Amino acid sequence: MVAVRGLSRTYGNGPATVHALREVSFDVAPGEMVAVVGRSGSGKTTLLNLVGGLDRPDAGTVRVDGTDVTALDDQGLSRLRRDTISYVFQTFGLIPALTAGENVGVPLRLRRTPVAEREQRVALLLDLVGMRGHELQRPSELSGGQQQRVGIARALAGSPRLLLADEPTGQLDAETGLAVMALIRAIVESEGVTAVVATHDPVMMSLADRVLTIADGQVQA
């Protein structure tokens, strides 16, 4: 599903040069859930951004479902993110002005899904993440765990084939984090989604099919 080859990314220049990733290569099979672990600043987020096409590598390639992400133009990347990849953010990433239901509906609107179908799927997804009854609440009216559940529902709304989650429990307490991790694991299994999850959480690592450790911008054996 994901094939990363010789991926490098450097920030800054001169003495302030930071090598975020150096010659990183790995594969992720379809339906596999991979946990990317490493210290802060080790390059986890950079790796997810490059896989998702949010950032451009200095060298190397990323293939997602056979598509060379690094070769896509802006339109192609947007299409890829809209149809194939979805994100779960550490800070939940909900649009403050929209209700929970409207947030979940954003990817469907991007695909111009018919209204009735959209509403049906939003209800289904909110039910899936245990947020039924919270459709009309704004993000500011939800707890962190609830916001992240809504974020996961939104990530699934477009029926992605690859789910990228950047420390999805980073801002949650242990109990809520555990529930969110279980939810992701359950969804990966039930929806057949491939997931790459950047995390510090040992519990998350235990739920993953494979753990990819990054240190100093390189994947450790």
Partner 1 sequence: MLALVARRALVQRRVLAAVVVLVAAAATLLGVCTLLLSATQDRAFHAEVQRSQADDVDVTAYVVGLAGSDLADVRQQARDVVGGVLTPLHPRLTSIATARMRRLEDAHRLAYLASGDGIAPEAELTSGRWPHDAASGRPEAAIPDSTARLLRLHLGERVVLGQEIGLDGADNPVDVVVVGTFRPRDQAGWQGDPLSGQGFDATYSDGSVTAPAYGPFVVGDAAFVATGSSVTGLRVTAHPTLSLATRSSLARAVGKLGHADALLSSRAAGRARITRVASNLPDTLSRIQAQQATTRGTVLVLLVLSLALSLAAALLAGWLLASIRDDERALLVSFGLSRRQQMSAALVEALALAVAATLVAIPVAALVHARLTHLPRLRAAGLTQSPTITWGLVLTVLAGAVALALALVVTVQDSSTASDRSSRRRAAERSGMGALLVGVAAVGWWQLRTQPPTSTVHGDVTLTAAPVLCLAAVTVLAVQVVPLLLAGAARVGDRSRGLVVPLAMQQAARRPHVGTAMVLIAAAAAASVFGLALQTTWGRSQDDQADLRVGTDLSLALLAPAGPQDSIAVAAATGPAATVSPVVDTPLALGSYLGDPGSPPMLVAVDTRHAGELLRGRVDAGTDWSSIGRRLAPHAPAGGIPLPADGTGVELTGRAPAGASITVTPTAVVQDASGFRSSVAATSLPMDGRAHPVDWLGPIVGGARLVAVRLDLDGDPGIDPRGDPGQVQTGEMSVKLRLPGRGGARPSWRLLSARSDSPVRDATASVGADGDGTALTATAGIDLGFFVYTGASLLATALPTPTELPVAVSQDLLDAIGAKVGGRLAASVQEAPVPLRVVAVVPNVPSAPGRVAVLLDADLLSRALVDAGRLDPVVNGWWVSKPSPGVVHALRESSLGQVTTRHEVAAQLRHGPLRATVPTALLTLVVAAAVMLVAGVGLVLSADRQRRSADVARLRALGLTRQDARRVLLVEHGSFVVPLVLVGALVGLVAALALGPHLVRSEVGAAPVPSAVVTVPWAAEALLVGGLLAFSLVLVAVLAAVQIRRSGPADLRAGDL
Residues making contact with partner 1 (CB under 8 A): 45, 49, 52, 54-55, 74-75, 78-83, 86-87, 89-98, 102, 106-107, 109-110, 112-115, 118, 139, 154, 158, 166
Which residues make beta-bridge pairs with 44?
A: none
Task: Write down the least CB distance from residue 87 to partner 1, Å.
Answer: 5
Amino acid at 79: R
Q: Measured from the CB atom, is 66 or 96 closer to partner 1?
A: 96
Task: Write down the least CB distance from residue 93 to partner 1, Å.
Answer: 4
Long-range contact pairs involving 92-98 (C-beta distance under 8 Å, separation at least 24): 92/139, 92/144, 92/147, 92/148, 92/150, 92/151, 92/171, 93/151, 94/139, 94/147, 94/150, 94/151, 94/154, 95/139, 96/138, 96/139, 96/140, 97/138, 98/138, 98/139
Task: Write down the least CB distance from residue 213 to partner 1, Å.
Answer: 21
Q: Measured from the CB atom, is 113 or 218 closer to partner 1?
A: 113
Q: Measured from the CB atom, is 52 or 217 closer to partner 1?
A: 52
Q: Measured from the CB atom, is 66 or 112 closer to partner 1?
A: 112
Please state the separation of Cα 46 from the chain's center in Å. 12
Task: Write down the least CB distance from residue 155 to partner 1, Å.
Answer: 9
Q: Measured from the CB atom, is 20 or 28 closer to partner 1?
A: 20
8-state DSSP, 35? E
Task: Write down the least CB distance from residue 110 to partner 1, Å.
Answer: 5
d(Cα 193, Cα 147) in Å, to the nearest integer?
21
